[in-house]
């Protein structure tokens, strides 16, 4: 059954260091939230699509891409798509910026 989405205030923009991921648990879901150098904020599920799993928040961020910290998969933070030659998809959650407060809907 699909439940309605709920909004979670996850912090202020400045709480998220540029190009460094931060873990926020919202509504029981562990999120990895990134502020890219163009000022955009992206929220993805903090779980690697790699068969061995693992977190994503500690990866290296380049533009809107993330290199996962354990297996170096390249992931598009906007769509969650893993880039070739690897395949997979990370769950992406919509983020709303209102002034300097950051809200994620789940």
Query: Which residues of this protein are in contact with another protein, per CB under 8 A?
Result: 8-11, 15-20, 22-27, 30, 37, 52-55, 58-63, 65, 67, 69-70, 72, 74, 84-85, 87
Nearest approach, Cβ of residue 37 and another protein (Å) = 7
Vertex 104: Cα angle to 58 and 23 (nearest 5): 20
User: Which residues on adjacent β-strands are paired with residue 55?
Assistant: none
96: preceding bond cis by omega (within 30 degrees): no
Nearest approach, Cβ of residue 30 and another protein (Å) = 8
Nearest approach, Cβ of residue 73 and another protein (Å) = 10
Nearest approach, Cβ of residue 29 and another protein (Å) = 10
Tell me the DSSP string of 30-76.
EEEEEE-TTS-EEEEESS--STT----TTSEEETTEEE-TTT--EEE
Name the residue nearer to another protein (CB basis): 53 or 94. 53
Name the residue nearer to another protein (CB basis): 4 or 72. 72
Name the residue nearer to another protein (CB basis): 8 or 41. 8
CB neighbours (10 Å) of residue 84? 7
């Amino acid at each position: 059954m699909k439940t309605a989405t709920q909004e979670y205030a996850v912090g202020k923009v400045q709480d998220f260091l540029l190009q460094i991921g931060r873990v926020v648990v919202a509504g029981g879901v562990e999120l990895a939230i990134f502020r890219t150098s163009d000022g955009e904020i992206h929220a993805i599920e903090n779980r690697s699509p790699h068969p061995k799993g693992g977190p994503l928040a500690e990866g290296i961020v380049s533009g809107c891409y993330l290199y996962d910290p354990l297996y170096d998969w390249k992931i598009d933070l906007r769509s969650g798509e893993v880039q070739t030659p690897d395949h997979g998809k990370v769950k992406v959650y919509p983020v709303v910026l209102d002034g300097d407060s950051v809200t994620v809907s789940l």
